[in-house]
Structure 1
Amino acid sequence: MALKLTLKPNERIIVNGCVIRNSDRRHFLDVENKADVVRESDLLDESDAGTPVKEVYFFAQTCLLNTELREKLIPILQAKLGRLVPVFHDEVAGNLVEAANHVSTNDFYKAMRALRPVIQYEERLYEMMHGKAPQTAAE
């Protein structure tokens, strides 16, 4: 089954490491075979990876974007995911297990997608604990 993408005007995507920018109008793309595809809006800047879950997301993103680092990063990523599972309640921990399953099949985009609800939950926890949003590593 093809991956169907709708690109906003001037939106960038990365396909197998190649950055592609859309023109000034919305376009539709069908990716008909397996490829590493990620939208710019799904990317996390390294300076924003200052929390445990965001760090794991950044590692998954790095595996997606840099095939040369995958072999080295996958065991680190799996270990970090394993350490996070007991920290969160069952509903969110299931997303971490799902992300680990996707990492084991080299489907890093789906791993990132599974981590998004955990990032949102983590942000809410930081807000409750500190009365504000979490600080990034750069702050």
Structure 2
Amino acid sequence: MALNLTLKPFERIVVNGCMMRNGGRKTTLTIENRADIIRETDLLKPEAAATPVRAAYFLIQSALIYPDRRDALTKSAQQQLAKLATVFTPQLARHVFEAANNVSMGEYFTALRELRPLMKRELEVLGPAGLDPTSPDELPRIPT
């Protein structure tokens, strides 16, 4: 099944690890086979990965973007998700399990989508102060 992706002028996307920028006009792309795709607006900057859920999101996002480091990143993401599984209520923990399942199947974007409700809940609990960047030593690292 093809994916139709409508891009705004100058919008950037990452396709199979390659950053691309749309030209000055709205464009629709049709992706006809399997590809790892993420919009720039869905990307989390490393300094924003200062909470447990955001750290998991960042690791999964990195696995999507860096196919050459995917094995190590997937392992790190699964470890981070395992830590999160016991923190949330069963209703919210379901998102952690779905994300972990999607990561194990190589469906990284779907895993990211599962984490969004948890990021929202994390913001409700921690407040904006909880999202302030921490010391660089506490931020998730991309395994090499």
Q: List runs of 5+ in structure 2 lacking aligned partners.
A: 137-144
SS in 2 for 1:86: coil
2:17 equivalent to 1:17: yes
Instruction: With a CA cutoff of 8 Å and minimum separation of 6, indicate the structure with the bigger relative contact order.
Output: 2
In 1, the alpha carbon distance for the partners of 2:135 and 2:41 equals 20
Structure-2 residue corresponding to 1:136: 133
In 2, the alpha carbon distance for the partners of 1:25 and 1:77 equals 37
Q: What percentage of aligned pairs have identical amino acids?
A: 41
Alignment: residue pair count:
136
Q: List runs of 5+ in structure 1 lacking aligned partners.
A: none
What amino acid is aligned across from residue 131 of structure 2 in structure 1? P
**Cα RMSD for the two superposed structures:** 1.6
Structure-2 residue corresponding to 1:85: 85
Alignment of structure 1 residues 51-62 onto 2, 5 Å: 51-62=51-62
CA contact (8 A) 1:53 1:118 kept: yes
SS in 1 for 2:6: strand
Return the offset for 1:65.
0.6
Moved over 3 A (4+): none
In 2, the alpha carbon distance for the partners of 1:120 and 1:37 equals 23
Give the alignment's TM-score, normalised by structure 1: 0.91
